[in-house]
Amino acid sequence: MQELGTTSLVIVGVIAVLALAALGVAVVLRRQVLAAGDGTASMQGIAQAIQEGASAYLNRQFRTLALFVVIVFALLFLLPGDGGVRIGRSVAFVFGAAFSAAIGYLGMWLAVRANLRVAAAAQAAGPVDARRTEGARIAFRTGGVVGMSVVGLGLLGATLVVLVYRAEAPAVLEGFGFGAALLAMFMRVGGGIFTKAADVGADLVGKVEQGIPEDDPRNAATIADNVGDNVGDCAGMAADLFESYAVMLVAALILGKAVFGEQGLIFPLIVTAIGALVAVLGVAITKVRAGESGLTAIYRGFYISALVGALLAAAAAFLYLPSSFADIEGVSAELRDAAGDPRLVTSGAVVIGVVLAGVILAVTGYFTGTTSKPTLHVARTSQTGAATVVLSGIGVGFESAVYTAGIIAAAICGAFLLAGGSVWLSLFLVALAGCGLLTTVGVIVAMDTFGPVSDNAQGIAEMSGDVDAEGAQILTELDAVGNTTKAITKGIAIATAVLAATALFGSYADAVGTALVSAGTAGTGGIVDALLSFQVISPVTLVGIILGGATVFLFSGLAIDAVTRAAGAIVFEVRRQFREHPGIMTGEVRPEYGRVVDICTKDSLRELATPGLLAAFAPIAVGFGLGVGPLAGFLAGAIGTGVLMAVFLANAGGAWDNAKKIVEDGAYGGKGSAAHEAVVIGDTVGDPFKDTAGPAINPLIKVMNLVAVLIAPAVVAMSVPEDANHVLRIGIALAAAAIAFGAVIHSRLRAARVDHEARLEHEVGLV
């Protein structure tokens, strides 16, 4: 085992203590949230139902995912590498998966208790401004708990691996990042299917067919809708941001060690540790002032904490790094005689990441905010029907994707320019930019959790009927703020995913290069060279690019189609209850909420496996079937298509959602009007866009990149002439393709069966 210097070990030890301190702050914030008033008995009963449904779903989901964790744990032992590293990588995979699951569960557990307290704050005695401020404080600090936990567990996992495995830590951390990303993707897909199936079903039958409010207690799907907010937006997004944190750190450590040696291994840890301090600051200073919008307060807290994070990271660079590349012990030969100051270069990269987060925040807020021109335009099109609402939302999504992708591309170009044209240094700087962006992850998670907590609070208030008109308006305003913050955090998560994937792209190239050196060959021409070549003009590499982009489309289609089927089942169930129990509409009969929750749970877990198997096995099929060059093309195609698709889906959905809010606030006829029906249709189209398929693309591209990094040495070993085993290589590729597309075909057959059963049930109901 390679050793690290005493100074490095001391720094890592201090960071580990800081990670524990972050977890301590999370405990303190949790107590503050739970100390708030918990409302009336009616509110508590509704909240209890939401809590039970969310806990039951996640418990069943974790039992399902445990099988995947066990299988992957065993498969990781089959990959090439030193015995100790292989064991460590497999164990780290389990810890990464466990931490990701724990973060998701914590996000759900606290959110289903904070929602009640936000609703109680809105109906408490006192001035309206004071009630609004208290509700916003509870919602934001709930997210602060999850944010501090993300920072604490992410840093703790990374530092423990570095302390145990020292310089070999990057190889072991591949498993940690893979575990976090895989679990996050499953939680994102499963939770997204649950929440949007319930939401779409509740809207279509409740609002459109029955003409009752969104959270009316007569709607059998309303409890499932509120449960879904927590298992999708809280648990799923918390796990997603944790894996972004973990994967970015893994990529930075791999590239840092390759470029800067020991100091490159430690410096990313220092930058992300600064994020723990920034998170505490951001949560502490985010307070809504009298007469102020909650969004203004959140923006102010974010920008101040981001600025402080950039300054602290620059100070750390000047304190820790030398003034010349030549003075860095273990620096790569390419950089040993390079001009420039590594302190300025690394500081600039961190600043790029922080600025990128701020710009994404502003751009996403512009395209999805309730007061911005794009969303107002979507709301205005409701005067001509649902078709124009859908078309205008699609247009907003497409346009916003171009600007967001261009901004992210500019950030990557900035890192390349800072590196003076050095590819490897620029990849490390991209990873550092991602670490800089994630110095604000604590505040980002708080912003995201604010949304579903406020949404649930509004639902509890409406179902209980215990909140006065002023309190209801407070919750409506907080919910609108939450819609925008959710869209913003999705935009930032997408930017993080692209930076992490770009850095992992470099890690993949490093893994391939190391494997080629170990093999001692560059090929002998012909097909072998084509398999190992990274040239984009190679037809087989272009095939990889096409397949990578196609995988993103297929993954998105599967996720949206899963929501469609599950939502259809909810629509039939809610219609059945209204039809068979007329007393529901008069308030004499209580709807069977549990049946809808059970349908959502079963359908979402049944649909979980197909997208996950596609993500894990598609790169294996391409890598072993076509070689490491086409696999590089596959990753490039997935990254390029993924960023555009994810932004399009997230922002189109966000614009539709807030356009609905604008109409419900009284524009163009308000609730019950033809315009309202049109924006409800638009919102139901956008639901699986912004909360299922779009966010799931983030972990998808990182899972595929990490799979590629892990299998690269084996692909090279089976491709070079000296050790070629083309029969085994092709056999593995065919098996992987059979698993991936077998899952897709099985999903299609299941969809046809479900459609047939639904049609029969509908016909029986009509009779």
The region of weakest confidence among 228-242, 394-408, 559-573 is 228-242
Mean pLDDT of 691-713: 86
Structural domain contains residue 1: no
pLDDT confidence of residue 767:
47
Q: Closest Cα to residue 340, out of 328, 352, 355?
A: 328
Per-residue CA distances from 152 to 17, 19, 21, 264, 350 (Å)? 9, 4, 8, 21, 20
In terms of C-beta density within 10 A (0-12 exposed, 13-18 middle, 19 or more buried), how is residue 189 classed? buried
658: exposed, middle or buried (Cβ count in 10 Å: 0-12, 13-18, 19+): buried
Q: 720, 736, 554: which is closest to 642 by C-alpha?
A: 554
- The count of other CB atoms within 10 Å of the CB of residue 521 is 16
The dihedral through the CA atoms of 74, 76, 82, 87 has a sign that is negative
Mean pLDDT value across residues 214-225: 80
**Residue 237: band (very low, low, confident or very high) from pLDDT cuts 50, 70, 90:** confident
Three-state secondary structure of 528-582: HHHHHCCCCCCHHHHHHHHHHHHHHHHHHHHHHHHHHHHHHHHHHHHHHHHHHCC
Non-local CB neighbours of 552 within 8 Å, separated by 6+ positions: 637, 638, 641, 642, 645, 697, 700, 701
Cα separation, 717 vs 729, in Å, equals 10
Q: What average pLDDT does the segment 630-634 reach?
A: 90
Residue 555 maps to a domain = yes
487 residue type, one letter: A
Residue 57 — very low, low, confident or very high, per pLDDT cuts 50/70/90?
A: confident
Q: Regarding predicted confidence, which is higher, 86 or 533?
A: 86
Could you give the dihedral angle defined by the CA atoms of residues 593, 596, 602 and 606, in that order, rounded to the nearest 10 degrees?
Answer: -150
| 352 vs 39, more confident | 352
For 331, which DSSP code?
A: -
**In the 8-state DSSP scheme, what is residue 288?**
P
Q: How far is CA 748 from CA 48, 185, 558, 571, in A?
A: 37, 21, 9, 21
Give me 3's structure tokens.
């050793």
**pLDDT computed for residue 536 by the predictor:** 67
pTM of the predicted structure, to 2 decimals? 0.83
Range with lowest mean pLDDT among 8-22, 174-188, 226-240, 452-466: 226-240
When divided into structural domains, the chain yields a total of 1
CB distance 737 to 621 below 8 Å: yes
Within 25-124, strands assigned E span none
* CA pair distance 223, 216, nearest whole angstrom: 10
Neighbours of 218 (CB within 10 A): 20
- What is the Cα–Cα distance from 313 to 125, expressed in whole angstroms? 44
Tokens at 329, concatenated: 């012990």
Percent of the chain predicted with pLDDT > 70: 93
Q: Which tens digit of pLDDT belongs to each residue from 480-519?
A: 787 777 777 777 778 888 888 888 777 777 777 777 766 6
pLDDT band for 401, please (50, 70, 90 cuts). very high
The mean per-residue pLDDT over the stretch 686-709 comes to 86
Amino acid at 120: A
Average pLDDT, the chain: 84
What are the angstrom distances between the C-alpha of 291 and each of 295, 297, 316, 600? 12, 11, 39, 40
Among 10-14, 106-110, 346-350, 585-589, the range scoring the smallest mean pLDDT is 585-589
pLDDT of residue 1: 45
Query: What average pLDDT does the segment 200-215 reach?
Result: 78
Q: Which residues contact 6 (CB under 8 A, 6 or more apart)?
A: none
Out of 117-126, 310-319, 376-385, pick the least confident.
117-126
The answer to whether 98 and 642 have CB atoms below 8 angstroms apart is: no
| pLDDT at site 524 | 45
102 vs 96: CA distance, rounded Å: 10
Quick one: which of 643, 426, 627 has its CA closest to 543? Answer: 627
Closest among 567, 606, 697 to 643, alpha carbons compared? 697
Residue 311 and residue 313: Cα distance in Å, rounded? 5
| 706: exposed, middle or buried (Cβ count in 10 Å: 0-12, 13-18, 19+) | buried
21 found inside a domain: yes
Give residue-wise pLDDT tens across range 524-578: 444 555 555 566 677 888 899 999 999 999 999 988 888 888 888 888 888 888 8
Q: What is the pLDDT of residues 564-573, one digit of tens each?
A: 888 888 888 8
405-419, 446-460, 743-757: segment of lowest average pLDDT: 743-757
262-277, pLDDT tens digit by residue?
A: 888 889 999 989 988 8
Structure tokens at 501: 């994937």
Q: Which 8-state DSSP code applies to residue 261? A: T
pLDDT, one tens digit per residue, over 129-148 is 788 888 888 888 888 898 88
Percent of the residues in the chain that have a pLDDT greater than 90, as a whole number: 18
Residue 758 within any structural domain of the chain: yes
What is the span of the domain harbouring residue 619? 6-766
Task: Give dist(CA 388, CA 382) in Å, integer.
Answer: 7
User: Which residues have a Cβ under 8 Å from the Cβ of 731 and sit 6 or more positions away?
Assistant: none
- What was the pLDDT predicted at 691? 83
Length in residues, the chain:
767
Total Cβ atoms within 10 A of residue 766: 7
Tell me which residue has tokens 């649902």. 386
Burial (CB count <10 Å: 0-12, 13-18, 19+), residue 330? middle
Q: How far apart, in Å, do the first and last CA atoms of the chain sit?
A: 74
Amino acid (one-letter) located at 319: L
Distance of CA 255 to the CA centre of its chain: 23
DSSP code at position 209: I
Cβ–Cβ under 8 Å, residues 437 and 357: yes
Residue 225, domain member (yes or no): yes
SS3 at position 734? helix
Does residue 724 have a pLDDT over 70? no
Q: Which of 481, 462, 412, 483 is nearest to 683 (CA)?
A: 483
Judge whether residue 3 has pLDDT over 70. no
